[in-house]
Each structure stands twice: as C-alpha cells, then as structure tokens.
Amino acid sequence: MKTNKEPKIQDVMTTDDHLTVSFDDGRIVSLPLKWYPRLHRAKPQQRRHWELIGKGCGVHWPDVDEDLSAEGLIKGSPAREYLRSLERTKNEKRREAVAA
C-alpha cells in the first residue's frame, strides 16, 4: 500500500561547503552551502544551532533567521536570495559586455 507521507527531516549537518540533511525515509541530501547565503555567511556555531519546524517539515536557524522546507531541500532548490544574486551577476556581466 502506497502512502502520501512526506519525508520529515531528522538531522542537519553543515561543513564550510555543504548542507547535509537526513530524512526519516533514509534519504540523505547534500547541497552546496553557497546556495543558502545566510547559512554560508554564518559562523559554524550559528549553523549548528538549528530547530525542526513542524515535526520535521522544515528546519529553522534562529541565529541567522533562515528557514528551509523539507520539500525544497529534497528538490534541491537553492534559496531565492542565491538565485537573485546569480541574476544580478548575469545582468552586470551583460552590461559590461555592452559597454566594452
């Protein structure tokens, strides 16, 4: 029998380069930390201070005011802040090319 139970976050670990999340269905997802600028800029002790949201539906880092959903992490979705910075960089390069 198939269930529609969404995987819940069980554990979170960070290094200087990666965010690794373990889920209750056995999945482990490791994503580039630079995709999450607030966490990337945070000190290691701030990254270690996290709390589960909604019994594992998400994770919250109170010291840096960052919230990530289990669904977004499973999908490998970067933070909107990171995507906006990529767009700004792309636009700046385009303007530089036109000016050259």
Q: Would you give the distance in Å from CA 3 to the centre of its chain?
A: 26
- Taking the domains of the chain in order of start, what are their residue ranges? 9-99
pTM (2 d.p.): 0.83
Cα–Cα distances (Å) from 86 to 11, 37, 65, 78, in that order, read 29, 12, 21, 11
Would you state the pLDDT for residue 13? 98
Q: What is the dihedral of CA 42, 44, 77, 61, to 10 degrees?
A: -70
The pLDDT tens digits along the chain (100 residues) read 445 689 999 999 999 999 999 999 999 999 999 999 999 999 999 999 999 999 999 999 999 999 999 999 999 999 999 999 888 887 877 777 777 7
CATH for the stretch 9-99: 3.30.2020.40
